[in-house]
Amino acid sequence: MADPARAAKLAQRIKVVVAEALGRKVKDPRLEGVTVTDARVTNDLQHATVYYTVFGDETAHADAAKGLEKAKGVLRQEVGRNITVRLTPTLEFVADQIPVVASNLEELLREAKKRDAEVAALAATAKHAGEADPYKSDAPEDVDIDEDDFDEEDIDLAGDDDIDEDANKDADSTK
């Protein structure tokens, strides 16, 4: 099992070699619009997955996939000549979905921006459902109430005015 850093370096090298070989060695017109975007190599360095994009419609994508499958042997031979590993990895070509996902994401962001603008326009003309100050206060408006105004001694024991604490202490001591 190889070092992951070595596998990453090998993947980058394979990406460059395949891209150059598609431009120089392979003379298939179906592969003219192919761009190699990424490559991944397994940790045992035996299998490489090469990701590509194609400029064009669905038929161009299908033609490029067929052309890459046909040119797989030539590309693997070129990779074997240009990398320094004991065994040349097998190549698998996968259409990269990142551009499609990115365009979908951009469309969603445009839609979200449009909706945010609509909400901002509605918020600019909106009024509160209730009064301007929904919090009612029993204090007159000209009196400022401060937290320091209330002490523990000011708490009124409603209905317990006749409790005599000294009488309870005397009753407990006689028992």
Q: Which of 12, 74, 73, 64 is nearest to 35 (CA)?
A: 64
Strand partners, 48: 41, 91
pLDDT of res. 102: 87
Give the three-class secondary structure for 23: helix
Q: What is the pLDDT of residues 31-51, one digit of tens each?
A: 888 999 999 999 899 999 999
Check: CB of residue 90 under 8 Å from CB of residue 46: yes
Its pTM surpasses 0.75: no
- List, for residues 98-125, the tens digit of each pLDDT value: 878 888 999 999 999 999 999 999 988 8
The phi and psi torsions of 54 (rounded to 5 degrees) equal -130, 135
Q: Which of the four pLDDT bands, split at 50, 70 and 90, describes residue 156?
A: low
- Label residue 174 by pLDDT band (50, 70, 90): low
E-assigned strand segments in the chain: 34-41, 47-54, 90-95
Give me the mean pLDDT over the 129-153 stretch: 65
Q: Of 69, 73, 29, 74, which Cα lies nearest the Cα of 52? A: 69
pLDDT digits (tens, 9 = 90+) for 51-95: 999 988 889 899 999 999 999 999 999 999 999 888 999 999 999
Q: Would you state the pLDDT for residue 149?
A: 58
